[in-house]
Amino acid sequence: MCALVETQGRETMLRSMRDLHGSTVSAVDGDIGSVSQAYFDDESWGVRYLVVETGNWLNDRQVLVSPYSVKHTDPGSSVVHVGLSQQQVRDSPMLDAHKPVSRQHEIEYLRYYSYPTYWGGPNLWGMGAYPAYDPTGVAPDALPDEPPGPTQDTTKPQPDVHLRSTDEVKGYHLKTADGSIGHVSDFIYDDTDWAIRYLVVETHNWWPGGKAVLIAIHWIDEVDWFDSTVSTKLTRDVIKNSPAYDDSMPIDRRYEVVLHQFYDKHGYWSDAGADEPVASE
């Protein structure tokens, strides 16, 4: 599932994270594995890393791939093209799949690939709005070898890590103003800035004739990571009557406008602005 829309003059696609899972990751000199899940920043809801299962090529090792390295993804091809070599991936910092990704590991990873940090700046990607390039025309690989900022001093206590796995959050229950109504089954992200725009909430098990619906990230008021719940001030009846989501159909801007008008909300694409994503607890 994907849809072509335009963001500030740039063509962009809204894609399903579920469709991305299993996609082949193709380096400049051969395939390196397939996408198993993604890590996103629970403060800004930006996709920070794809987790790639390397299979027999690298002894079943898991590696991280940043959107900084993604060159393009061909709709319908299930292939993610990255500007990395197999040797770069082979020599990249080891990922312990049984532990959360620490800020120290991120610093090591970003330094290895000479990528800038995404935290500490005014935009989704630090000083830039997109991971693929900087609006000033400076490409990520032309930036300094080490990410700037005080987080480079790993001898000091590191800030809290806010990376969450899509596999972890899938299944979280949606709490409305008057009770639960469904669970998270998928994520819709923008492949230009890699921001998660919507949660797909499945309601079939919560009332007869239930359906899948989209809940925009900026309509979420709280996420309880211990209770595995996502909360919104929307009511059950409003969500029941909202436009249905069909994962076999593309999400176009017309559908998004209808959806936001139904909820009387500003769109994230609007100059008028939308509510900021909530900070998690």
The confidence score (pLDDT) of residue 11 equals 54
* 2-164 and 166-263: identical CATH topology: no
The confidence score (pLDDT) of residue 160 equals 58
Spell out the domain ranges in the chain.
Answer: 2-164, 166-263
The confidence score (pLDDT) of residue 12 equals 66
Retrieve residue 77's tokens.
Answer: 């091809």
The confidence score (pLDDT) of residue 151 equals 40
Q: Are 265 and 206 in contact (CB under 8 A)?
A: no
| 201, β-bridge pairs | 184, 213
- 129's CB contacts (< 8 A; 6+ apart) are 123, 135, 193
pTM of the model: 0.84
**Local confidence pLDDT in tens for the 281 residues of the chain:** 544 444 444 456 899 999 999 999 999 999 999 999 999 999 999 999 999 999 999 999 999 999 999 998 876 778 999 999 999 999 999 998 888 899 999 999 999 999 999 998 899 999 888 895 443 444 443 333 444 444 444 444 445 568 999 999 999 999 999 999 999 999 999 989 999 999 999 998 887 888 999 999 999 999 999 999 999 999 999 999 999 999 988 899 999 999 999 999 999 987 544 444 444 44
Retrieve residue 226's tokens.
Answer: 């211990």
The confidence score (pLDDT) of residue 254 equals 92
The confidence score (pLDDT) of residue 2 equals 47
Which of these, 119, 132, 54, 147, lies nearest to 92 by C-alpha position?
A: 54
| 38, β-bridge pairs | 50
The confidence score (pLDDT) of residue 3 equals 47
The confidence score (pLDDT) of residue 143 equals 38
Give CATH superfamily name and number for 166-263.
Answer: Photosynthetic Reaction Center, subunit H, domain 2 (3.90.50.10)
Burial of 272 (0-12, 13-18, 19+ CB in 10 A): exposed
Q: How many CA atoms lie within 13 A of 128 on its CB side?
A: 21
Domain 2-164 carries which CATH code?
Answer: 2.30.30.240
Dist CA 268 CA 198 (whole Å): 11
Q: Are 262 and 245 in contact (CB under 8 A)?
A: no
